[in-house]
Structure 1
Amino acid sequence: MKILNLKMYSFMLLAVLFAFSACSKDDDPADNDLFTGVYNGRVSFNGGGSTIAEQDGSVRVNKVGDNYTFNFSGDIPSLGDIAMEKGDNNTLRLSNGEFGTISIDASTLRIAFNRDGQTWTANCTR
């Protein structure tokens, strides 16, 4: 009986340790696909003769290689070819006619990004 209890306690200890180490706020979007999926909240777009005021919506995050694509709901165009650099779970870009920030973790997505005169914003959670 003592051996059975020891095995049961060992299994429970391993399960608890796995639960605490499986997901971390230190995960980085450059390292894994943890951040892909749908985030819901407030989104907006302005550019190309089109303005979509802040509204309830969603952003589907896809990753191919090291690049992310943010597919917005409604008539908001996708924001693609975003390379997330290892670091603070976000990217700040200031080059080739684009600037802004994208901050992402397992539960929150915030976008304030301008590319070629078009501006995307998102304040979403999942």
Structure 2
Amino acid sequence: MKKAIKILGLFLLVFFTVTSLASCSDDDDPTNNDFFAGTYRGSVSYSDSDNNISSDQGSVFVTKIASGTKYNFAFSNGIPDLNGVEFNQEGDHTLVMVGSTATSYIRIDNNELKILYIKDGKTWTANCTR
């Protein structure tokens, strides 16, 4: 009897572990969630008058903050973060930075992150997927 309970307990543990991992989806859409956090991987870079950082194996951790329209971008490789960037929804599943221009934009959806952000002589770029 103890062996049957042990096997049943192990089965339940495996079932709940698999269910929990399956519920963490990379298909979460940053436009449809009140809370969003996701990691995008790919090429990232940063430059200013003192630094020039670049990596093809970088990452950007994106979080939606409490306002519901602002996002934070935490870069790998010692690149300074971008915080409090405001977005508008464009189409069903795409967010575009408020004030985007041809030389400064951030575009994010559930699969892709594109950044070319220039401010105060500093330049951030990212071309990442998840």
Q: Is the pair's TM-score, using the shorter chain for normalization, greater than 0.5?
A: yes
> Is 1:81 aligned with 2:87?
no
Task: For residues 59-87 of structure 1, give each alpha carbon's deviation from its aligned partner in whole angstroms, at most 9, with x where no partner exists.
Answer: 00011122101100011000111001132
Partner of 1:121: 125
State the one-letter code of the partner of 1:93: G
Conserved? CA contact 1:42–1:58, under 8 Å: yes
Conserved? CA contact 1:62–1:68, under 8 Å: yes
Alignment of 1:5-84 (within 5 A): 29=31, 31-33=32-34, 36-64=37-65, 65=67, 66-84=69-87
Task: Tell me how large the CA RMSD over aligned residues is.
Answer: 2.5
Structure 2 residues not aligned, in runs of 5+: 1-26
Distance change (3 Å), C-alpha of 1:94 and 1:114: same
Task: For residues 27-76 of structure 1, give each alpha carbon's deviation from its aligned partner in whole angstroms, at most 9, with x where no partner exists.
Answer: 663x5357531000000000141111343200000111221011000110
Structure 1 residues not aligned, in runs of 5+: 1-22
Paired residue total: 98
- In 2, Cα distance between equivalents of 1:58 and 1:75: 11
- Over the matched positions of the two proteins, sequence identity in percent amounts to 38
- In 2, Cα distance between equivalents of 1:71 and 1:107: 17
- In 2, Cα distance between equivalents of 1:62 and 1:112: 18
> Is 1:107 aligned with 2:111?
yes
Distance change (3 Å), C-alpha of 1:76 and 1:94: same
Task: For residues 79-109 of structure 1, give each alpha carbon's deviation from its aligned partner in whole angstroms, at most 9, with x where no partner exists.
Answer: 11100113252225269xxx61111110110
- In 2, Cα distance between equivalents of 1:125 and 1:34: 19
